[in-house]
Amino acid sequence: MSVRALIFMILFAPSALAQGFAGLGSEAEGYLLPNPDTRFEFPRDHGPHPGFRVEWWYLTANLTGTDGRDYGLQWTLFRSALSPDDRPAPIWMGHAAVTTPDAHFATERFARGGTGQAGVTAAPFEAWIDEWQMTGIDRGQLRASGPDFAYELTFAADAPFVPQGAAGYSVKAETGQASHYYSQPFYDVSGVLQLPGGAVDVSGQAWLDREWSSQLLSADQSGWDWLSLHLDTGEKLMGFRLRSDLGSAYSTGTWIEPDGTPGPLAPGAFVAKPLRFHRVAGREIPVEWRVEVPEHAVDVTVTALNPDSWMDLSVAYWEGPVRVTGTHSGRGYLEMTGYE
């Protein structure tokens, strides 16, 4: 185990105390708590929120190559505070991945805050760790690289940012744990993937999630299944299911109209059931789901493009592109954490 793995064992990973995935269920002592009355203010809120324990800039893209194949990519920057006053400075963690129908490449970076090695500025917007960077927020460039892959994309969106939950206050458990959460699901992207087999020109759609909190999960919650779907009819659907050790699950989501108008779903209105499990990294992971949103007449099957999209990193989880079939068609991204 490396020092980094240890760091994240302590900071994030499930411990014997059943603190939930990535330690997100642990105590928030001294840290700020999300407030339902807070309203987003841009560009300020594109930047970091010191005082909150965890925060991320999370971009996923569904792409089609000029070779006709489907691809997915992920670019994520996590900020993890070591103390409420940022002394010592927070730890930054970057994850990047590219998924093809038959391969999955993932890599990670770490940095300490305060040195310039990693950070986020709100205006002009820039998020970076080492040479990975996301420059611009309405339009801009994105790049990352690992030992066996690299990508460089441009992205642009005209639609407004979409607050999730109740005006950006996203409840995660019946006991009230919550986060501040907004998304930009309307990016059009194009660029080049560098893969072991050569360069591929790609284009498609991307989705940015911005979320910060100090205590996301309740103590008995062990992980989540999270979906972001681009439906071919123009609507977007975000839904998640937080699994409890007690056997129950808290699920909710947002139905987003083509013009960006959010329609928060009531708890339980987003229904996701595993259809097929796949053995990856020694665990049984559901890689095919039945997803229903009765109030929007959605009854679809969500299938992983590559069931082996395992992020084998210091904090390990499943994350990869999916295809949507059924009452609606489309594509999207699936993230599953806390499967042991």
Partner 1 sequence: MQLLTMVIGLALATALWSGVQAINAEARASYDQAARALGETQFTQLIPEEGNTIPTETFVALRRAGVLVSPLLEGRLQLDDENYQLVGFDALTAPMGLVPNEAQQQVDIVSFFAPPYQIIANPEDAGRIRGLTDATVIAVDTVSPGVLLTDLYAAQAMLVRGDEVSRLLLLPNQPRNGTPPDLKQLKLVARSPSQGNDISRLTGSFHLNLTAFGLLSFAVGLFIVHGTIGLAFEQRRGLFRTLRALGMPLRMLLVLLMVELLFVSLVAGGAGMVLGYVIASVLLPDVAATLRGLYGAEIDGTLSIRPIWWAAGMAIAVLGTAVAAAGSIAKIIRMPILAPAQPRAWALLSERRMWLQGILVLALLAVALIASQLQGLVAGFALLGGLLLAAALALPIILSLLLFLAQHLARAPIPSWFWADTRQQLPGLSLALMALLLALATNIGVGTMVGSFRTTFLGWLDQRLASELYVNARSNQEAEVLQSYLAPRADAVLPIWNIEARVAGLPAEIYGIIDHATYRDNWPLLEAADSVWQRVASGDGALVNEQLALRENLHPGDSLELPGAWQTIVAGIYSDYGNPNGQVIVGLDALVKRFPDLQRQRFGIRIAPDKARALARTIRDEFGLPAERIIHQAELKSFSVQIFERTFTVTAALNVLTLAVAGFAILTSLLTLSAMRAAQVAPLWAMGLTRRRLALLELLRSSALALMTLVLSIPVGILLAWVLLTVINVEAFGWRLPMRLYPTDWAWLALWSLIAAMLSAAWPAYLLSRKPPAELLKVFANER
Taking contact as CB under 8 A, which single stretch among the options 115-123, 157-165, 177-185, 316-324 is the one that binds partner 1? 115-123
Q: Assess 12 for contact with partner 1 (CB under 8 A).
A: no
User: Applying CB under 8 A, which of residues 44, 112, 139, 273 lies at the interface with partner 1?
Assistant: 112
In order of 182, 217, 257, 275, the CA distances from 159 in angstroms are: 13, 30, 11, 34
Subset of 292-331 contacting partner 1 (CB under 8 A): none
Instruction: Give the Cα separation of 337 and 339 in Å (integer).
Output: 6
How buried is residue 44: exposed, middle or buried, by Cβ count under 10 Å (0-12/13-18/19+)? exposed
Of 124, 163, 150, 159, which Cα lies nearest the Cα of 263? 163
Query: Helix, strand, or coil here: 273?
Result: strand
CB closer to partner 1, 82 vs 249: 82
Q: Assess 160 for contact with partner 1 (CB under 8 A).
A: no
Of 45, 252, 270, 78, which Cα lies nearest the Cα of 164? 252
Q: Assess 198 for contact with partner 1 (CB under 8 A).
A: no
Q: Taking the complex as a whole, how short is the minimal distance between the CB of residue 326 and partner 1, in angstroms?
A: 38
Q: Assess 266 for contact with partner 1 (CB under 8 A).
A: no
Q: Taking the complex as a whole, how short is the minimal distance between the CB of residue 45 and partner 1, in angstroms?
A: 25
Q: Assess 10 for contact with partner 1 (CB under 8 A).
A: yes
Q: Give the H/E segment covering residue 128.
A: strand 126-129
Contact partners, residue 309, CB within 8 Å, separation at least 6? 72, 97, 99, 104, 318, 319, 320, 321
User: Applying CB under 8 A, which of residues 68, 116, 198, 247 lies at the interface with partner 1?
Assistant: 116
Q: How many helices (H) and strands (E) does the chain have?
A: 1, 23
Taking contact as CB under 8 A, which single stretch among the options 127-135, 214-222, 289-297, 304-312 is the one that binds partner 1? 127-135
Q: Assess 147 for contact with partner 1 (CB under 8 A).
A: yes
CB closer to partner 1, 105 vs 186: 105
Tokens for 231?
A: 């439906």
Taking contact as CB under 8 A, which single stretch among the options 17-25, 41-49, 103-111, 236-244 is the one that binds partner 1? 103-111
CB closer to partner 1, 130 vs 188: 130
Q: Assess 123 for contact with partner 1 (CB under 8 A).
A: no
User: Applying CB under 8 A, which of residues 43, 88, 197, 326 lies at the interface with partner 1?
Assistant: 88
Sequence length of the chain is: 340
221-254 burial: b if 16+ Cβ within 10 Å, else e? bbbbbbbbbbbeeebbbbbbbbbbeeeebbbbbb
Taking contact as CB under 8 A, which single stretch among the options 27-35, 148-156, 167-175, 180-188 is the one that binds partner 1? 148-156
Q: Taking the complex as a whole, how short is the minimal distance between the CB of residue 300 and partner 1, in angstroms?
A: 36
CB closer to partner 1, 107 vs 252: 107
Cβ atoms of 58 and 200 within 8 Å: the answer is no
User: Applying CB under 8 A, which of residues 33, 82, 275, 316 lies at the interface with partner 1?
Assistant: 82
284-303 burial: b if 16+ Cβ within 10 Å, else e? ebbbbbebbbeebebebbbb
Residue 43: is the preceding peptide bond cis (ω within 30°)?
Answer: yes
Q: How many residues bind partner 1 (CB under 8 A)?
A: 30
Q: Assess 64 for contact with partner 1 (CB under 8 A).
A: no
Instruction: Give the Cα separation of 259 and 272 in Å (integer).
Output: 25
User: Applying CB under 8 A, which of residues 39, 44, 87, 273 lies at the interface with partner 1?
Assistant: 87
Q: Assess 145 for contact with partner 1 (CB under 8 A).
A: yes
Contacting positions for partner 1 (CB under 8 A): 1-4, 6-7, 10-11, 82-83, 87-88, 91, 107, 110-112, 115-117, 128, 130-131, 145-150, 194
